[in-house]
Structure 1
Amino acid sequence: MTFHIEENDQNMSSTLPEISTSNTEPNKPLSNDTAQKVPINTKPKNLANTDNNGNNNNKNNPEQLRRLVMVTGDKGGVGKSTFARGLAQTYINNAVKFVGLDADNSNPHLIRFYEKHANIQRLDISNSDKLDEFVDNLKELVYPKPKESGENQESQSLILLETPSQFMPTLKILITEMGFLGVVNDKCKMRVTIVVVISTIIDCINQLLELYSFCGDNVDYVIVKNLFYGEAEQFTFYDNSQEIKKIQQQLKAKDRSFTSITMPKLAKKSYDYLDVKNLTFKQGLEQDEYPSVFGRIFSWLNNFQGQIKPIKDLFGIDKILTE
């Protein structure tokens, strides 16, 4: 597996209407015996100097914004693909160069909607050999070897990875067998943000707690409340969880981020229109067939970017341009 590197289509940012930024709100797991033999909590080195809100304090660090952003959500249909698409569109709108890796082979939304508009690659992580290949190619993206002609290839500093459903056992294997998070940080000099999209059900919280049990303070966390499943105040299992509050305090003490945002609900007609026609969010703005679709998508992107802006560094964004 080799990731093909090509230039992003940055022209998409030039015609987007002005967007305000008001903040509206299987791998089989290893057995316990095996896991105990492997150092799980490999502490990353060379961490970018960021505060607890994800803001960079050391602006002279050339690696300050290098990020691997992993969009997860182990419950199928929770909305992680929609969030990944919204983030990809935000990168494009703000002229942020990135490489997208779509590992959701059963429902590859990044490939389907954005392959022609950005550097999006299909990723196979179905077995141990493919997992190793992924890690090696990740380093090759960050530190590419010169071409046979001697010409240098461009280094990539931002990777957006959309993971498949039920990815947690695979991630646990990566961490327990090779200390994945430490390897990414030490060998790629890349900080990791894990985005966890949740609904209002208790299973999402249980899975989040399980994720933290083996990722610990080695990553920054962004929890996304998908408002398709209810209003923000209806996420009571998350808001009232004492375990979550304890984790937030632990990470604050370690200068790690654990923050929550919301993802707005997109009206069914507009969502289905994009889905049937395989349109990006920007193409939904450009169509003239349905003014209602334009209005809904414009408002959705406004809201989405408003959520991203206060923690933009956690997503590898230096500056929001569409203000």
Structure 2
Amino acid sequence: MTVGDSRVGKSTVMRLLIDLLCAQKKLIKIYDHDTRYKLAAYSQIVPIENIDFFRGGTDIMLEELKGNCDAIAVDMPGQYLDKVCQYIHKVHLFKLLNDYNWRLTFLQPISHRLDCLDYLEHLLDSFGDSADYVVVKNQYFDKQFSQYHRSEASQKLAVLKGSEVILKELNKYSYETVESLGLPYSAVSNQLAIYSVYRGYTYRWVKSFHSTLINNFTVKNYLGLNKSQQIEEYEYTF
């Protein structure tokens, strides 16, 4: 479940994760809780369903929990943390997940803003070791994240065995071009209409993030990725 403040890269991280799960031949289902439909480009490669948990959407997802999916991913809207927490407690989500032998991972990108740290700390305090946590340090906003590393949220994350990964900054012209064409990131390398240099930047950016996930044992486990395979098995053509 991607969570966090608005405009920190939640949907970007979700799209990158979908690409990797699909490359690993995982059977996945994606739920988009965000009204901006940032995942629309991925509907051509994986089932995506719009959902509103705050209006009874839990029942829809329960059917997937009973099925044979390898992973279920939910892209939540920005902010609304109190509402998200209230919903999870109200429907006893952790009990439901445990009944079907599932585990919830919160995937939270962060920027340079202190609001991100407040959000993360609230999340950790609300759910403790009932969930797993992966923080994505989005280098589009910052390179050092010094305030994060000095924060109580960072210390609490370590205590709860959460993990951190880095999402490197993508050249802004490459990002804008891909966004304007509405393509999955994994399809960019085959689009000759995109300047080769932009395709090259995007290729290396995607590969770097996927490598970061695959080579981190804790993150690999939390995100339902294959445990024994390395990133070299998921090369893209370019």
Do the structures match in fold with TM over 0.5?
Answer: yes
Per-residue CA distance 1:5-62 (angstroms, 9 max, x = gap): xxxxxxxxxxxxxxxxxxxxxxxxxxxxxxxxxxxxxxxxxxxxxxxxxxxxxxxxxx
Runs of 4 or more above 4 Å deviation? none
Letter in 2 for 1:312: K
Q: Does the 8 Å contact 2:110/2:116 carry over to 1?
A: yes
Paired letter, 2:64: L
CA deviation map 1:50-75 (0-9, x unaligned): xxxxxxxxxxxxxxxxxxxx0111x2
Structure 1's 90 and 248: CA in aligned 2 closer, same or farther, altered over 3 A?
same
Percent same amino acid among aligned pairs?
Answer: 25
Given that 1:72 and 1:162 are in contact with CA atoms closer than 8 Å, whether structure 2 keeps it comes out as yes
CA distance in 2, matches of 1:240, 1:96: 37
Q: Which of 161, 170, 184 in structure 1 is aligned with 2:83?
A: 170
Give 1:266 deviation, angstroms.
Answer: 1.1
> Within the alignment, does 1:237 sit opposite 2:147 as a pair?
yes
Task: Identify which of 97, 111, 117 aligns with 2:45.
Answer: 117
Residue type matched to 1:288 in 2?
L
State the match for 1:30 in structure 2: none
Structure 2: any 5+ residue segments left out of the alignment?
none
State the shift of 1:192 in Å: 0.8
Give TM-score, length-normalised by structure 1: 0.67
**Alpha-carbon distance in structure 2 between the residues aligned to 1:243 and 1:292:** 38
Conserved? CA contact 1:198–1:224, under 8 Å: yes
1:72 matched residue in structure 2: 3
Contact 2:30 2:74 in 1 (8 A): yes
Query: In structure 2, what is the Cα distance between the partners aligned to 1:183 and 1:287?
Result: 43
Q: Distance in 2 between matches of 1:247 and 1:197?
A: 14
Kept in 1: contact 2:16–2:206 (CA 8 A): yes
CA separation of 1:247/1:272 partners in 2, compared to 1, >3 Å: closer, same or farther? closer
| Partner Cα separation in structure 2 for residue 175 and residue 317 of structure 1 | 24
Q: Which of 138, 148, 167 pairs up with 2:61?
A: 138
Does the residue aligned with 1:164 lie in a helix, a strand or coil?
coil
Does 2:221 match 1:313? Answer: yes
Q: Which has the higher helix share?
A: 2
Given the two structures, how large is their TM-score scaled by the length of structure 2? 0.89
Measured after TM superposition, the shift of residue 243 of structure 1 is 4.6
Select the residue among 111, 119, 144 that pairs with 1:207: 119
1:248 to 158, 162, 167: 158
Partner of 1:66: none
d(CA) in 1 for partners of 2:134 and 2:150? 17
Match of 1:302 in 2: 207
Alpha-carbon distance, 1:269 to partner: 1.0
- 1:1-323 equivalences in 2 (<5 Å): 70-73=1-4, 75-105=5-35, 107-110=36-39, 112-125=40-53, 127=54, 130-131=55-56, 134-144=57-67, 155-186=68-99, 188-231=100-143, 233=144, 235-249=145-159, 251=160, 257-289=161-193, 290-309=195-214, 310=216, 311-318=219-226, 319-320=229-230, 321-322=233-234
SS in 2 for 1:109: coil
Deviation at 1:248, TM superposition (A): 1.9
User: Pairwise CA RMSD of aligned residues?
Assistant: 1.6
Is there any run of 5+ residues in structure 1 with no aligned partner, and where? 1-69, 145-154, 252-256
Q: For the pair shown, which has the larger CA radius of gyration, 1 or 2?
A: 1
1:189 deviates by 1.3
Alignment-mate amino acid for residue 300 of structure 1: W
